[in-house]
Amino acid sequence: MAFFVSHSTDFVGAEPSRYFGLFNANESASTLAVELDISKALDVLDINDNHVGIDVNRAVSVQSANASYYSDKEGRKIDMKLVSGQPIQVWVDYEGTTLNVSLSRFHTCLTVLFSYYIYCRVISVESCNNRL
């Protein structure tokens, strides 16, 4: 599953059975996606078969992390299986130059899983530039 923002609704050329139906094997039109990925695809350098990633204009993630959440009760990160069938909350927040991704079990407080610095002019992702 992926949450995405694109300046276009035309995904001609995107592979429907791969890359979330948003991308093809090459760099695509301006698209920003946050993926919840349950497969490890070697051609896009996935870190494992249970991760969250940020994709900018192609299916290779610019930032990724194992699917996990922070437990205040236990004081540590706890891994979660995306295919467990259990309800989870996912928050994707973009403010200024920071994209924050947070996961938690349903009805649990959220702590940011990871942040990625990115600059997108206005609302269009047409001119996204990474700022590392």
Give me the CATH number covering residue 25. Answer: 2.60.40.4220
The yes-or-no verdict on residue 55 having pLDDT over 90 is no
Q: What is the mean pLDDT of residues 1-12?
A: 75
Is the distance from CB of 39 to CB of 16 less than 8 angstroms? no
17-34 tens-digit pLDDT: 666 666 665 666 678 889
Q: What is the CA radius of gyration of the chain?
A: 15
Q: Number of structural domains, the chain?
A: 1
Is the distance from CB of 59 to CB of 53 less than 8 angstroms? no
The residue with greater pLDDT, 111 or 3, is 3
Domain range for 26: 2-130
Q: What is the pLDDT of residue 110?
A: 61
For the whole model, what pTM was predicted?
0.75
85-108 tens-digit pLDDT: 998 888 888 887 888 888 888 766
